[in-house]
Each structure stands twice: as structure tokens, then as C-alpha cells.
Amino acid sequence: MTTTTPGTTTATITPDTGAAVVRVAHGGGWLTVCDLDRLNPGRGAAVLLPDGGQAALFMDRAGVVRAIGNRDPFTGAYVLSRGLLGSAGGRPFVASPLLKQRFDLATGVCLDDEEVSVPVYAVRVE
């Protein structure tokens, strides 16, 4: 099982018991959002949450899965899942496809305007 929480990543090797699933912390529990094999490294996927919100789910080339809010706070559009992944100073980020602001995938803070941020969701791959 791999668990990603804001600011930390831990991994524990477990026996392969079938297809791995991705779960996102939401509403006090864990919501299964997709099978791991549905994610493509370096690309994002939008996830509709039960409360009507959206998360942007990303798997980097190393296989680490992270989730942040999908709404770009600068435009109000739900597009962050379509952004480009990168890193700056060792911090993984997604750049919004609209105005190109970069959001830290571990903290949700905008690297271009630290007064702006998006939600970060803890993720489990089981």
C-alpha cells in the first residue's frame, strides 16, 4: 500500500492480490476513485467527489499518486487535471493549462503567488 499525505509520502510493500485501486480521503473516509492502471504517468485525471467537488489526480513518472483540487482559483475553471507536471527545486507541481500558475502537488500552494492555494487530498494505492 502507498499512502500520500500532504507533505509526506510513505510506502509499504504488500503482496500483489489483484488490481491496485486508488483511494482519496474524503468526508472522514476513503473513497475509491479508480483502478491504478487507469492512470497514465505524467497525465492527470479529474475525479468527481460525492459532494459535487472535483479532485485532480496525478501519477508521476516514479509512480507516486497525488490529488489536489481540480478548480483553478485564478479562473474558476475545473481544469488543473489537464495541466502539465513538473518540478521546481525538488517540489512537484502542476501548471494550470489556462494562465500557467504552478501548484505544489504536496501542499497545494501556488508557487507563483503563495497567498493562493488549492485543497490537497490524502491518497492511498492499495
Task: Concatenate the DSSP letters of all residues of 16-49 into one string.
Answer: --S--EEEEEETTEEEEEEEGGG--TT-EEEEE-
| Per-residue pLDDT tens digits of the chain, which is 126 residues long | 545 554 443 323 344 556 899 999 999 999 999 999 999 999 999 999 999 999 999 999 899 999 999 999 999 999 999 999 999 999 999 999 999 999 999 999 999 999 999 999 999 999
Judge whether 88 and 102 are in contact, CB under 8 Å.
yes
Full-model pTM: 0.85
